Amino acid sequence: MKLSKALMTLALLALMLPGLIACGAKQEQTQEEDLLEASMAAMDEIESYRMQMSMIMDMSIAGESLNTTTHAQGAVINEPLAMEMQMNMDMGDMGGADVLMYLEKAEDGTDLVYMSIDGGASWTRQEGVSAESAETYNVKDNMDLYLKSAENFQKAGEETVNDIQTVRYDGFISQEAMNQVMETSGLQEQLGILELPEETMEAIYTDIGQVPISVWIDPEKKLPVQYEMDMTQVMQNLMDNMLEMVSQEVEEVGDVLLEIQKVTISMNMSDFNQVESITIPQEAREAASV
């Protein structure tokens, strides 16, 4: 569940990738780059949207397979930030989870996060979430990171996505940007229970590699329709680093063999500027604070 939370963070951050692509174009101005820049400008003006996300994570631990499929759908209002997310996670024989999450701004400017991991049967409420802690959920505030990280985006052709004729661009998220994403994903906080030295924590994020990414843009509306990321190698590198560093500090870990076979994320966006409000269930508002 913790690893999937980090991956969900990366998926949410990917919503702002038109800005990444446009600012990463270093070549002579072309018609294709005009589309990228127009997409960036259009996304900067978007006030709300809906999205659907799918994530596949196949791995094995000491020879035992763990295949996880996650489907999510939600809506986002950018200002003031509000979000709803419904997520179903299927882990095969290990079971699954139906996660509901809402976020809204409190009167004091901090964030309120409501979450259920049993499909709404029970809720928790987290109050007074600082801006720094809420960064995990705040897509728009992470735009600056991606504006500095785009590299080698190239037009890859035209394809039909959801009955829309789109232009596809392929590129990658840089090593430096991935390090920063991981630092803001919540993994470091979750690993804090191991009480590892600070230098060990930093080493976990070293040399995790780049993430191939593709984006499909509607040339008429100048808006993104779909994103895909292949995080297989990055997650393998991250897990290798983590196990190596942890084994040096925690003897019980030993030589654990963990193989990442596949980690992919795809996301579709729709209903731009059509989300007028997000309604939080009353039982979530009345939940116990954690």
Q: What is the pLDDT of residues 152-183, one digit of tens each?
A: 678 899 999 989 999 998 888 777 766 666 66
Band (pLDDT 50/70/90 cuts) for residue 92 is confident
SS3 at position 278: coil
Q: What are the φ and ψ backbone dihedral angles of 131, each rounded to 5 degrees?
A: -60, -40
227 is a domain residue: yes
Sheet containing 211-218: order of strands = 124-129, 111-116, 96-105, 82-90, 64-77, 48-61, 258-270, 223-230, 211-218, 164-173, 150-161
168 is a domain residue: yes
Give the pLDDT of residue 16. Answer: 39
SS3 at position 232: helix
Q: What is the pLDDT of residues 140-153, one digit of tens each?
A: 444 434 444 555 67
- Give me the mean pLDDT over the 108-130 stretch: 85
157 is a domain residue: yes
pLDDT at 278 over 90: yes
Amino acid letter for position 167: V
**Who has greater pLDDT, 228 or 201?**
228
251 is a domain residue: yes
95 is a domain residue: yes
Q: What is the pLDDT of residues 41-63, one digit of tens each?
A: 787 788 999 989 898 989 888 77
Q: What is the pLDDT of residues 188-219, one digit of tens each?
A: 555 554 555 666 666 666 777 888 888 899 99
Q: How many domains does the chain have?
A: 1
Amino acid letter for position 196: L
Which range marks the domain in which residue 195 is found? 2-285
DSSP 8-63: HHHHHHGGGHHHHHHHH--SS--HHHHHHHHHHHHHHH--EEEEEEEEEEEEEETT
Band (pLDDT 50/70/90 cuts) for residue 105 is confident
**Who has greater pLDDT, 88 or 130?**
88
Mean confidence (pLDDT) of the chain: 75
Looking up residue 177, the CATH number of its domain turns out to be 2.50.20.20
Band (pLDDT 50/70/90 cuts) for residue 106 is confident
96 is a domain residue: yes
140 is a domain residue: yes
Distance CA 233, CA 152 (A): 19
290 is a domain residue: no
Amino acid letter for position 47: E
Give the pLDDT of residue 23. Answer: 41
Global confidence as pTM = 0.74
Element (H, E) at 7: helix 2-13
**Who has greater pLDDT, 15 or 246?**
246
Crossing angle for the helix pair 175-184 and 2-13, to the nearest 10 degrees: 120
Element (H, E) at 77: strand 64-77
CA distances (Å), origin 162, targets 166, 169, 216: 10, 17, 11
Give the pLDDT of residue 246. Answer: 64
Contact 169, 151 (CB under 8 A): no
Give the pLDDT of residue 185. Answer: 55
Contact 209, 222 (CB under 8 A): no
Beta bridge partners of 76: 49, 83
Which residues are within 8 A (CB) of 277 and not within 5 positions of it... i.e. 6 or more apart?
77
Backbone conformation region of residue 21, classed left if phi is above 0, alpha if psi is from -120 to 50, else beta: alpha
Distance CA 154, CA 214 (A): 10
